[in-house]
A and B are shown apart, each in its own frame.
Chain A
Amino acid sequence: MVAMRHSISRAAVVVAVAALLEAVLSPYLTFGGVSPKLAVIGVVFAVAGLQDLQAVLLGFFGGVVFDALGGGIGLFGVGALGGLLAGILTARVGIAPRGAEVLLLAQVAAVAVAARDVIGLAAINLAGLEGPPPIKFLLAGVLPDALLNALLAYAIGGLLLKFVRKKGGT
């Protein structure tokens, strides 16, 4: 039996490409409060199986790239914190039984997306800008956003996992 292990370089590529794609594609795919959070999904599937330190560093890196590309609400630091949370959540979840991995990571992606949305709202208010009413935003923005991104994560997660894993090693 051939063991599979994660390639950090491949994971970094996935995270960077996901951040780039979200920054460029998201404006075309935003419907109300819902948009594909590819950067978060990329982080979740790229860091799955990595050590805690590697996961948070890669999550932070992905978030900073996303912020630098002017993605999301455009406030520097929001993507970084969101990526960091996505990284640590994934690392804490640990390794799921084979076959249930994608489903579990899709749920992590949903939580991470919700967390980034909430961080975004908090950042808008902290920056002195007017944000939407929190309850309305949670119900009409965060919830559908998390659910749809979970579906998206479930749909593409298998491919991402396949890409970041390579044969051999321990």
Chain B
Amino acid sequence: MALCILCVASLVLFTVYVKEGDCTENGCGPLHTVQLGAAEVLRPVRAVFAVAASPFEGVSAAVGDAVQQDDEQQLRKDALENKELAAEASRLRQENERLRELLGGQRPSYEYASLARVIAPVGDQFANRVIINVGSADGVRPEKPVIVGDNTLIGRTTDVSRHTAEVMLVTDQMFAAGVRIVPPAELDRSSGELSPRNGDTGSYGEGMLRTGWEEYLGVEYVDLSAEVEKGDFVVTSGRAGDYELLFPPGLLVGTVESVSSEDIDQFKKIVVTPPIEPQDLEEVRVITDW
């Protein structure tokens, strides 16, 4: 009897959660609110684990090296320390440049939340998401584009609490965005403006960007007649006919890695390389309005 009641309770929880839908600007349902509260409480714990996990790759490599070396151990140790110092200096220089770029690459017509740092990844095999340290107190709302560098789209916000926000990355299998494929020469990356040679933006290949279960990022539903080449930029289209889409136009989401099609296919098969790997993310910005 108890088992039946609890099974029904689980299904009710699931149904209510799905019916609530994603958080919107009008707020979240009770179950989403519970998860947001928990995320807020867990923020310091996640941050601690993120810091604790970060050096493991370096440590494991160092341990592996140490096992293989015996004679010139001290010399190698010194060399390693020097390399680490050089790497640290290089990292700081790159971080400095990246932060300058982030601050300098803003488009005047957009409004941005303050610079955010990635706290930790979340989810399991079905998800590719991160938590960032800005939230509703910083003007962040659900379903807003998240970018890095010079207006490169890396995902969108989903659940937002007061001081944190969950970002669904473009490589998440539930992410989708309307995109346009443009030759590099016809896109001004800093402004996102297109300068078509034939004066017609309608000639670009258009489709939907998503990661399929074959686990590659691709653009679907691109017409066979569309001109797409390796190396073309994939940018958000902003509109589809009369519909305004979730992302502003002209945000870079990747580069075309390969294009193929079979005679029986209805659409081209386009594989896209994302501009940045999720594990390389550090600082990001949320576009709050445009």
Binding site for B on A (CB under 8 A): 20, 23-28, 30, 32-35, 52-53, 56-57, 60, 63-64, 67-78, 80-81, 84, 88, 120, 123-124, 126-133, 136, 141
Contact = CB atoms under 8 A, between A and B. Distances in A.
Contacts of B39: 70
Contact of A70 (B7, B12, B18, B122): B122
A52 B16 CA distance: 27
A69 B46 CA distance: 11
A56 B6 CA distance: 8
8 contacts: A20-B45, A24-B45, A72-B123, A76-B16, A84-B7, A120-B126, A123-B14, A127-B18
Interface stretch (B30-38, B194-202, B224-232): B30-38
Contacts of A80: 6, 9-10, 13
Nearest to A133: B213
Given A57-B2, A69-B38, A69-B42, A77 B123 contact: no
Given A53-B2, A68-B38, A70-B35, A124 B9 contact: no
Contact of A24 (B6, B12, B15, B42): B42
A134 B24 CA distance: 32
A133 B214 CA distance: 10
Contacts of B173: 130
Given A57-B6, A78-B14, 13 more contacts: A27-B123, A30-B123, A32-B125, A52-B3, A60-B10, A63-B10, A68-B35, A70-B38, A73-B124, A76-B13, A76-B17, A77-B17, A120-B126
Nearest to A32: B125
Contacts of B127: 73-74
Contacts of B53: 28
Interface residues of B, number: 37
B133 to A, nearest CB: 16
Among B9, B14, B46, B124, the most chain A Cβ lie within 10 Å of the Cβ of B124
Instruction: Determine the main DSSP class of A at the interface with B.
Output: helix
Contact of A35 (B12, B124, B159): B124
Interface in B87-137: 120-127
B95 to A, nearest CB: 22
Contacts of A53: 2
A40 to B, nearest CB: 12
A25 B49 contact: yes
A78 B17 CA distance: 11
Nearest to B166: A70
Contacts of B185: none
A100 B191 CA distance: 67
Instruction: Determine the main DSSP class of B at the interface with A.
Output: helix
Nearest to A76: B17
Contact of B125 (A30, A63, A75, A123): A30
4 smallest beta-carbon distances between A and B, as pairs? A77-B14, A76-B17, A77-B13, A27-B121
B11 interface: yes
A72 B13 contact: no
Contacts of A25: 49
A81 B10 contact: yes
Contacts of A136: 213
B79 interface: no
B18 A126 contact: yes
B281 interface: no
Contacts of B16: 76
B62 interface: no
B11 to A, nearest CB: 6
B86 interface: no
A130 B53 CA distance: 31
Contacts of A30: 123-125
Contacts of B45: 20, 24
A133 B173 CA distance: 13
Contacts of B10: 60, 63, 77, 80-81, 84
A60 B9 CA distance: 9
